[in-house]
Amino acid sequence: MTLPPETAPGTDAEVKEITVVAAELGTGVGTALGTAEATGGDRQTGRRVQRTINFDSEVLERARAAATYLAAYEPLAGVRSLADIVNPAVEEYVGELEEKFNGGLPFRPVHRMPPGRPARRA
């Protein structure tokens, strides 16, 4: 049995920042900041945009290892890149949020997502 290719060397950082190519999910994910394009509208499958997001270090390493291994050794898994793991996971989670907090409907479109994390409400 051939061993999977090595992943990037580990670091002590708690959070790693990477740029991923995310398919437009109609949820605000994948819309470039500062653009006038609204999110939450018609879904355009296959349209990809680049976004920089932060991952917990352990989650990122596990996802990268899975994507690398599956792309090299398990073609039937349908995973060729990290985006093939990230896009379905985000789409599923956004669907859960829509169901739980918005009656199963898409959230209203936004034209610009504020940078950073919102302040905590008391």
Q: What is the pLDDT of residue 121?
A: 76
Q: What is the pLDDT of residue 16?
A: 53
Q: What is the pLDDT of residue 19?
A: 53
Question: What's the pTM?
Answer: 0.59
- Do 27 and 40 contact (CB within 8 A), yes or no? yes
Torsion region of 24: left, alpha or beta (phi above 0 gives left; psi -120 to 50 gives alpha): beta
Q: What is the pLDDT of residue 71?
A: 97
Q: What is the mean pLDDT of each run of 10 residues along the chain (122 residues)?
A: 47 50 41 43 66 92 98 97 95 98 95 80 72
Closest CA to 22 of 50, 43, 41: 50
Closest CA to 51 of 72, 76, 71, 27: 27
Q: What is the pLDDT of residue 44?
A: 54
